[in-house]
Structure formats: structure tokens, C-alpha cells
Chains A and B, each alone.
Chain A
Amino acid sequence: MESYIYRTDKLILDLTEWLTEATGSAFAAEVVKMSIAAAVLSAFVGLLAMILIYIERKVAGHMQQRVGPMRVGPHGILQTVADSIKLVAKEGLTPKNADAFIFNLAPLLVFASSFACLSFIPFSPGMTIVSFNVGLLFILGIASVGVLGILAGGWASNNKWSVLGAMRSGAQIISYELSATLALLAIVPFFGTLDFQEIVLSQQKGWWIWRAPGVGLLGFLIYTIASTAECNRTPFDIAEGESELTGGFHTEYSAMKFAMFFLAEFINIFIVSAISATVFFGGWMPFHIEGLDTLNRVFDLLPPIVWFFGKVACLVFVVMWFRWTFPRLRVDQLMHFEWKYLMPLSLINLALAAIAVSAGLYFFN
């Protein structure tokens, strides 16, 4: 139990200590640590997107009575690698009458906002790149910068279909952000902190999805719906809507610029699932039932990082499942759903949560 795999917080502490000794100053140690983190994160992003795309294609295949990619590598595992090489090698085009500066900036904006969000995710005890006492709030703020990139990209493309897609996505993301935020906010009073690591630690006795009576479950459902919309995934993929808008805001994008949008989409799926797993399902905390010590020990054998990725994988699967079974909503139906049902519901949920907290009405307190 004392190995570094289980005690990643100890690993980070020892590493910091060692770096401070080696470099001679705390500041230099921090700089080196951040550089390592950035390098690791960059590699992680590429790998993550590739794995997610591969899984998405396999999930889609098996849901549609086919097998998905099979040719490149055993069971097609190198297919996404081949696709990435193709995307990198392609010529990056800028349409003739496009606003070149904004056109090229837009994918960066989208990608940067997703990338920045990753640094707040608690992967394992102590393993958060930026420990921050308002991490949850900050991640919600940063995530909404991405919509600027989509709007800018659609506008700068100088394509009528792109503008339609960008407008749709702007309206959609801004509306659904409210519900997503409110759903998370309803759980915040229970743990009384916005720091991700502390949120995880507060769930030692049980996960908030059932510890907060009813409110947790409702909040989770609202967050799942709203975050699917935020990621522009089916049934809320009206911004791309390939059968209506021929690709929406990224119609004119190709090569690496398109890949950045694509990458960001998959990182976003990971991020929203990670937030959901952290807030509602205990993050890296193993599943424990009070009293059943043997069972708890067995669960403890799995390192926290496996728990974290396992939970996230289940939630990611749900989002993919949505995509391959649901048709797309129409833009006005989407807005109706948000403003008439989801938003009032999340406000009610928030009110209920406030009552539950002030009355001490939650389990294992």
C-alpha cells in the first residue's frame, strides 16, 4: 500500500523535494515540475484522443452490426495513428476570402481551452497539475472560452453554412452551460469546497450521487445531458449537423486545423466525464461500503488512477452510446428543452440541495 502507484501524493512530494535539492531553489523546482507536467500532458492529450477515437469507432461498429476498423494493425488499433499522420501531412488550406488571422486562430482557441482544463483534473491523490482552491469554478470558466473559437471559426470561414453552424453552437453552448453549472453547483454545498482534490476526499464515506438524497442523482442526469450538449455531441450536434449544414462551423477546415477541432471535441468528452466522475462518483476514490472491510481491502488493491480512468471510461461510453442511438434535435426544440425544462429543473435542484444541506439531510454525515 505504500508504493508510489497507490500514494501518488507521496510521489509528488518526494519528487518536489528532490528537485528542490537538485536545483537549489523552490522556484526552479516548480519551473522544472511544470515543464515535466506540460510535456506529459501533451503526450497524454495525443494518446487520449487517439484512444478515444479508436474506441468511438469500435463502439459505433459494434452497435451497428459491423466490426469497425480492422485492417491497420491487430484489430485496427493503428488506424487512428494512420489517420493522425494523414491529417498532419495534409496541406492546411485557408479559403480565399476568409479572415486568415481569425480563421487560423480559432482552432487554437478551442484546443487551448480544452487543454487548459486538463490541468485541473485530479487523476490520483496529489496528482493535479494545478492545485487551486476554486478549481471547479475555474474549469467551468475556461471551458466556455472554447465557444469563442467555434464562433470565430464559423464567422471567419466566410461560408454561409459555417455561420449558421457557429450561430447555432454559440446559442446552444451558452444556454446549456447554465444548466451544467447549476447542476454542479447544487452539489457544491454538500462538500463546501471547489478544490477538486478536496471534493474527492469528501467522498471517503460514499459518493455524492447517492449521499446527497435525490439531488445527487438529479444533478448527475442534468449534468450528463447539459455536458453532452456542451460537447456538441448527438443528440445535440446541431452545430455540426452534417446532414443539414455539411459540417457546420468546421466545413472549411482541413488538415491540422480540423484535427485540432476534432482533438478538442474528444478531450472535451474526457473532461466532462472526468468532472462528472469526480463530483458524483468519487473521482479516484475506490468504492467502499462501510462495515465490509474485506471487500473494501479488495477494492483498495486497485490503484486510484485505475479507479479514476475506469469511472471516466464508463461515462465516456454513455456519451458514445447516445451518439449512436439518437437522432438530432432541431435547433428550436433544443432551446425549448433547455429553457423550459432543464434550466427550471436545475434551479429546483439547487434549491432542494440548499434545503438538504442546511437541514443536514444527507447520508453518512
Chain B
Amino acid sequence: MSNIPADTSIEPDFEDYYVNMGPQHPSTHGVLRLIVKLAGETVLGVTPHIGFVHRGIEKMAEALTAQQFFPLTSRLDYLSAHMNNWAWAMAIEKAAGIEVPERAEYIRIIMSELSRISSHQLWWGVFGMDLGAFTPFLYGFRDRERVNDIFEKTCGVRLTMNYICAGGVREDVDRDFEKDVREFTDYFEPMIDEYDRLLSGNIIIQERTKGVGVLDPETAKQYGCTGPTLRAGGVDYDVRKNRPYGLYPRMDFKTAVATEGDSWARYVVRLEEMRQSLKIIRQALDQIPAEGPVRAKTPMNIKIPDGHYLSRVEAARGEFALYLVGNGKILPQRVKLRSPGFSNLSALPETVKGWRIADLVTIMSTFDLVMPDIDR
């Protein structure tokens, strides 16, 4: 299969067969446009075109105070809104030297892991649909609904939460929070096994993913891939472990790693991550102090002192890093966002070369791209 010679040139030639995949295509999950060069069914090359949902969020940050910028971070990778909020909060806290109360730290961890699970649930359902099985989609959404309900009760919002803020979290959790989350963890653990029964064990899924779209660790590192996309190739890099933040050092969990680097490995890694997230949530629920403040006292407008501040979090798709340059004013001088999706997408053309159109869909699906995250 993969030994079909694939030339790298995407220069148009009269005899070449080009198709435009996207921006309106069911499998690009948003507004990604791929120019695909084909020989029959075989993909010779892919050029991604991005920018359809570019909003200039980095530039907007320069005109917004720390507090005002939070809602925009929720709108980057909308499936890891909590993690993105956290990255911005962490940068501000580093800059202004704010201490976060312990209870808030635990709430942040629980919320982040819940959104990791919900993001992977959605990915799992969509992955099934990309491969032509419609049923997983509704199974994934059925379970994701429960996570969204938990978010709604506490944050009042189901998608763009804007809940984590500088100095802690916006307000204390809902009074049913602990009960709900425990119920969810007990409910969802057997559901992952059900996912396995419905999709993972299916011979067609295995045929379609095993060995398909191998992203070797060297290439992955060169392109800056992170998250499950990188870990599937055997590189054990997880921000939560390698550059711990918050109270993650207190948590006992394994990073999900596979060795093959193919679509199947990426699939397995994500399923394992859901299990690990459940484990983290359980520990956090056991350790969380029952009482206590959830937000440190901060001035209304936080002055960002002179200097450069970097924060990184492990979002659902990989490492989300935020670089903040302050100049002593309440408005930041410069904000740079490093989104995981962008780097993962840049490894896509290399990975799909020589595979079929159907594999392009599989590979794209296992890379788990979210366009607002890439376009910013």
C-alpha cells in the first residue's frame, strides 16, 4: 500500500487530477480546505489551506485586559475550553504573582479532565462516522451530554465555559457537583468498554486503521506534534507529567502511549486517555478540601509587570502554550498562542502521502483537528 510512489510536487499539471476537499466537506470538521492531488484513488499530495475562521485573537488580546481576554480563550479549541482558560490564568498568575487556593486547583483539574473526556467522546463518535459507522456518533453524544450537564450546572454554559479565571475559578462549584461527577465516573467507566465492543473490536475498523498513516516519532517531533498524535508514535511527552502544572504532581496516572504511530495507535491512546482521566478525577475528588476559598483576591484590572511569561497546559489535542509579554500596563504588549492543532495539521501532508482518499479521512480524523484552534 504505502510503497506507491508519491511525488511531493503539488504544482498543477494538466494531466493531474485535483480535488478540493473542503471548506465544505463533511470530514474536514469545520472549514479546512485541502487540495488533494490524486492518481485514481491514491493521494499523491495534500496542501492544507487554513484561515477561514481566523479572528485575530492574538491581536485582540493586545486591546483587552486580562479579565476580558478569558472568553476569547474559550473560543480557541472550544472542546478544551477549560484548559485554554487555565493557560491564560496561569500566565497572568505567573506575571502578577497570584497564589491560587488549593480547592480551586482541584476544581481546575476536575474540570480539565472532564473536558478532556468530553472532547474524546466527541472525537470517538465522529471518528466512527468518518469511517462510515453512524451509530458511534450518537453513543458518543449520549455520554457527552452528561459531562455537558455537569458543566452547565456549575458554569452555566455547556461549551465555552469561561470558568477558570485569574486567581482560581469564577465561583464555587454547584452543590451537587461531587455527587454528579462521581456518578458520571461510575457510569462512564463501563461505557468505554462498550465503545470497545461497538467499534474497537470490529474487524473493518482494525483493517481500516492498523498500519494506516504511520507518523514516525522523528517526523512528529520535527513538526512539533503533541498530544495523542505524538504519543501514539511512542514519544512519552505529556505536559502534565513532563512540565507539571497545578496539582498534577499529586495525581497518580499514566500517560497513554502506544508504539506503532498509526491510526489505530492514535485511536487506542485516546481511549486509554479517557480511562486515565477518570482515574485523575477520582483522585482529585478524594483529595479536594471540602471547604475553602476558590478565588484569590485580585484587583479588578491586573497590571502585567515587565517581562516574558510562558504557560503550557495539556489540552485534549496536545500542548497548548501561551506566551505573554507584559510592559507594566493592564493591557498585554503581546500574546502568542501555540495551539496543538496547527502543528498536528502541518504533519498531515507528510502522513497521508501514498494512501487512499478513504485513508485521508481516517488519518485526518485520528489527528483530531479543530479548526478554530488552528486558525485562531
Chain A contact residues, CB within 8 Å of chain B:
60, 63-66, 160-161, 164, 168, 234-235, 237-238, 241-246, 324-333
Contacts and interface: CB of A to CB of B under 8 A. Distances in A.
22 contacts: A63-B135, A160-B17, A160-B19, A161-B19, A164-B41, A237-B132, A243-B130, A243-B131, A243-B132, A244-B27, A244-B357, A246-B26, A324-B134, A326-B133, A327-B131, A327-B132, A327-B205, A328-B131, A329-B208, A330-B359, A331-B358, A332-B1
Interface in B171-210: 198-199, 202, 204-205, 207-208
A60 B137 CA distance: 12
B139 A65 contact: yes
A331 B142 CA distance: 31
Contacts of B131: 243, 327-328
Contacts of B358: 238, 241, 244, 328, 330-331
A168 B18 CA distance: 17
Question: Which of A63, A160, A246, A330 gathers most chain B CB within 10 Å?
Answer: A330
B297 interface: no
A161 B88 CA distance: 43
A329 B207 contact: yes
A60 B199 CA distance: 17
A332 B138 contact: no
B288 interface: no
A3 B135 CA distance: 46
A327 B204 contact: yes
Interface string B121-158: 00000001111111100110010000000000000000
B356 A331 contact: yes
A134 to B, nearest CB: 37
Question: Which of A64, A66, A161 gathers most chain B CB within 10 Å?
Answer: A64
Contact of B204 (A64, A66, A235): A235
A64 B128 CA distance: 13
Interface residues of B, number: 31
A35 to B, nearest CB: 42
The 4 closest A-B pairs by CB, nearest first: A328-B132, A327-B133, A327-B131, A64-B138
B25 interface: yes
Contacts of B202: 326-327
B361 interface: yes
Contacts of A242: 26
B135 A325 contact: yes
Given A65-B138, A164-B19, A328-B204, 7 more contacts: A63-B135, A64-B135, A64-B139, A234-B133, A245-B357, A332-B41, A332-B356
A254 to B, nearest CB: 16
Nearest to B19: A160
Nearest to B202: A327
Interface in B51-86: none
B204 A329 contact: yes
Nearest to B204: A327
Nearest to A247: B26
A228 B40 CA distance: 25
